[in-house]
Amino acid sequence: MHPGFWEACFWLWGPLLCLSIGSSGNVPPTTQPKCTDFQSANLLRGTNLKVQFLLFTPSHPSCGQLVEEGSDIQNSEFNATLGTKILIHGFRALGTKPSWIDKFIRALLQAADANVVAVDWVYGSTGVYFSAVDNVVKLSLEISRFLSKLLELGVSESSVHIIGVSLGAHVAGMVGQFYKGQLGRITGLDPAGPEYTRASLEERLDAGDALFVEAIHTDTDNLGIRIPVGHVDYFVNGGQDQPGCPAFFHAGYNYLICDHMRAVHLYISALENTCPLMAFPCASYKAFLAGDCLDCFNPFLLSCPRIGLLEQGGVKIEPLPKEVKVYLLTTSSAPYCVHHSLVEFYLKEKRKRDTSIEVTFLSDNATSSVRITIRKEQLEGRGVMAHPFPQCQTDQVRLQFQVSSRVWRKDRTPIIGTFCTAPLPVHDSKKTVCISELVRLQASTPVFQDLKIACV
């Protein structure tokens, strides 16, 4: 921070040298501040907590300024009038700098005019996972002490946003607890599961740790926590087995870490791109895929949450409900975002067995499919389709009546019905588009229909 400066000039056996001197007598930082990088630790030297606080600013997004003492902060480019984002990594098995952190910092600074402080605790997070867990309380106390220095400089508690990755999410929760839940926001990126699923609220991230707490879950069946821990909990693709991640052990380390780290890459993508990562509250992932949850009326009064920096994730109600599970689908690679649509088929007559129909959206750039099932003695089947482009860019829909491959169960009787679709969220029937004529589907024979949907 630079309170006010005056200029002094000196003759030093050469050209006139002029310096801008701060009103407090401190020389402000040079044009290029001294840069410090993350530490590296090895398995023998790890587990001792050796924390660095590195400040990144809009004017120097690639230069980490070491700010550990109050005087360091005062003489840095820290701006107390801006929001402050504190980024905390998780367990580092090999004691190396996180490969994603530079990109994350740049994305934060491009998306928000803010101070970004990266917490480097590589030393305390390496070696054995349980040793890193033992360091969580000590690290939380160090971050809290650092935060108190920022508050003394005029930073408001509500302007602080802590982003914690894996184990770092629970560190963020503990820091928030020290400040009695008055910090502005905590984002947990696949909060760690081992040692925390059955932990008390005081030991792990929970909705009481900040004014708004959100968590993005991508690996609930392995390294991530499976329970909701915030006001809004995003269970991406159901919270496990992310598309594009290897499904077999032969992929090695990537098999272990890909799902877990997807939360980080999703968040970076949300910062870098404007396409939606919108989610919908639902009782379960199965119910969401079945088309049972089409809007966000309950409990968000139609304000659907979105991953990114929107205030309260775009949720516009007070008081905020807690531990709301929300679901969304993604693609297998960046920018990951999809548009969700309801697809429905109404039979003209009931059938005595289940009816399966594959629905495919066709456009110039992409093809997306989903299978919907109409239960026996029912007339309607529905599901949720995920596609990378807005529905209005879809040219055609392909419908195919799927029959059992078992000879004794083959049913060659054609079905007749009506196909309808609507982009999510569906707030009223006006957004629903139905093919005007009845569709006749013969077993295993695709039928193509034009879709004419206007872009809003």
Summarised one tens digit per residue, pLDDT across range 407-456 is: 455 567 899 999 999 999 998 767 889 998 999 999 889 999 988 887 77
State the average pLDDT over residues 284-295.
Answer: 96
Round to whole Å and give the CA distance between 400 and 440. 10
Q: How far apart are CA 63 and CA 57, in angstroms?
A: 8
Catalytic annotation, pick one of 76, 140, 166, 368: 166
Let me know if residue 455 belongs to a domain. Answer: no
User: How much is the pLDDT for 306?
Assistant: 97
Give catalytic status of residue 363 as yes or no: no
Answer for the pair 267, 187: CB distance below 8 angstroms, yes or no: yes
The domain that contains 215 carries what CATH number? 3.40.50.1820
What pTM did the predictor assign? 0.90
**Statement to judge: residues 176 and 43 lie in one domain:** yes
Question: Of 328, 357, 380, which residue constitutes the final position of a domain?
Answer: 328
Please give the pLDDT value at position 62: 95
| Alpha carbon distances (Å) from 145 to 69, 132, 231 | 10, 20, 26
Specify the number of domains making up the chain. Answer: 2
260 is annotated as an active-site residue: yes
Residue 52 lies in a domain: yes
Q: Write down the catalytic residue from 120, 190, 209, 259.
A: 190
CA distances from 339 to 79, 384, 386, 429 (A): 38, 10, 6, 18
Are the CB atoms for 261 and 269 separated by under 8 Å? no
Q: Last residue of a domain, which of 294, 328, 362?
A: 328
Return left, alpha or beta for 140; rule: phi > 0 is left, psi -120 to 50 is alpha, else beta.
alpha
If one counts every other C-beta atom within 10 angstroms of the C-beta of residue 289, the result is 19
Residue 420 domain boundaries: 339-450
**324 and 345 housed in the same domain:** no
The pLDDT value given to residue 20? 40
Q: Which two tokens stand for residue 323?
A: 């531990």
Question: Can you tell me whether residue 433 is helix, strand or coil?
Answer: strand
Mean pLDDT value across residues 368-380: 95
- Name the active-site residue from 60, 89, 170, 260: 260
Alpha-carbon gap, residue 406 to 414, rounded angstroms: 18
Lowest-confidence segment of 2-16, 19-33, 256-270 by average pLDDT: 2-16
| Residue 9 clears pLDDT 60, i.e. is over it | no
Q: Which residues pair with 101 in a beta bridge?
A: none
Q: Tell me which amino acid residue 14 is.
A: G
What is the average per-residue pLDDT within 42-64? 84
Asked which of 48-57, 145-154, 399-408 is least confident by mean pLDDT, the reply is 399-408
Quote the percentage of the chain above a pLDDT of 70. 90
The pLDDT value given to residue 185: 98
Dmax over Cα atoms in the chain, in whole Å? 102
| pLDDT exceeds 60 at position 161 | yes
- Backbone dihedral region for residue 95 (phi beyond 0: left; psi -120 to 50: alpha; all else: beta): left
- Per-residue model confidence (pLDDT) at position 69: 84
Q: Both 344 and 313 in a single domain?
A: no
User: Above 50 in pLDDT, residue 393?
Assistant: yes
How far apart (Å, rounded) are the C-alpha atoms in residues 68 and 56?
14
Please indicate, yes or no, whether residues 279 and 362 belong to a single structural domain of this protein: no
pLDDT, greater one: 346 or 70: 346
The whole-angstrom separation of Cα 441 and Cα 10 is 90
Q: Which of 38-47, 193-202, 421-430 has the highest mean pLDDT?
A: 193-202
The CA distance from 114 to 85, in Å, is 7
Q: 190 catalytic, yes or no?
A: yes
For residue range 99-141, list pLDDT tens digits in order: 999 999 999 999 999 999 999 999 999 988 999 999 999 999 9
Q: pLDDT averaged over the chain?
A: 89
The answer to whether the CB of 205 falls within 8 A of the CB of 181 is no
Torsion of CA 73, 75, 78, 80, to 10 degrees: 80
| Residue 85 confidence class, pLDDT cut points 50, 70, 90 | very high
125, 119 contact by CB (below 8 A): no
DSSP code, position 35: P
Instruction: Flag whether 456 is in a domain.
Output: no
In-domain check, residue 232? yes
CATH at residue 381: 2.60.60.20
Kindly state whether residue 333 falls inside one of the protein's structural domains.
Answer: no
- Are the beta carbons of 383 and 343 closer than 8 angstroms? yes
Q: How much is the pLDDT for 2?
A: 44
Q: Which of 328, 357, 373 is the last residue of a domain?
A: 328
Q: How far is CA 343 from CA 119, 263, 370, 439, in A?
A: 46, 28, 9, 14
